[in-house]
């Protein structure tokens, strides 16, 4: 593979992750990248995602179901919503628990951060 082709593929795969409404799985990145680059193999996706992750351009998102997903780095604090019908994961910008950070529970636990995954049906699946 030439360096130029690799750079183009890397940019296209990053754009797929950047445009997404939430963190994407490797399979979703593969499927969506193939619309721009039809013969893109899964090994290229794995390799490119690893490169983007090491370069801190994307973040790894681990949901409670154990599935590893990736989203653009630097999005700031937000929650995730998982649709039980189409299985897609979406970003939720509103955080009802933001006020908890910096408070201490009655048992003495100082809360610094939290991760929340909400489940239901997305607008398309209702």
- Asked if 58 is part of the footprint of Zn ion (rule: CB under 5 A), the reply reads no
- Mask 11-50, x = binds Zn ion (CB under 5 A)? ------------x---------------------------
Check if the beta carbon of residue 12 is closer than 8 Å to that of residue 37: yes
- Mask 74-93, x = binds Zn ion (CB under 5 A)? ---------x-xx----x--
Interacting residues of 17 by C-beta distance below 8 A, sequence separation 6+: 24, 29, 52, 58, 70, 71, 72
DSSP state of 98: G
Give the residue with the Cβ less far from Zn ion, 9 or 23. Answer: 23
């Amino acid at each position: 593979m030439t360096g130029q082709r690799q750079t183009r593929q890397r940019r296209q795969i990053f754009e797929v992750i950047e445009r997404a409404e939430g963190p994407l799985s490797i399979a979703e990145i593969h499927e969506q990248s193939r619309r721009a680059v039809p013969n893109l193999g899964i090994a290229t996706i794995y390799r490119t995602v690893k490169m983007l992750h090491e370069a801190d351009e994307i973040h790894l998102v681990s949901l409670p179901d154990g599935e590893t997903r990736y989203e653009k780095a630097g999005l700031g604090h937000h929650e995730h919503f998982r649709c039980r019908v189409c299985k897609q994961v979406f970003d939720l910008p509103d955080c009802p628990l933001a006020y908890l950070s910096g408070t201490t529970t009655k048992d003495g636990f100082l809360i610094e951060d939290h991760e929340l995954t909400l489940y239901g049906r997305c607008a398309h699946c209702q």
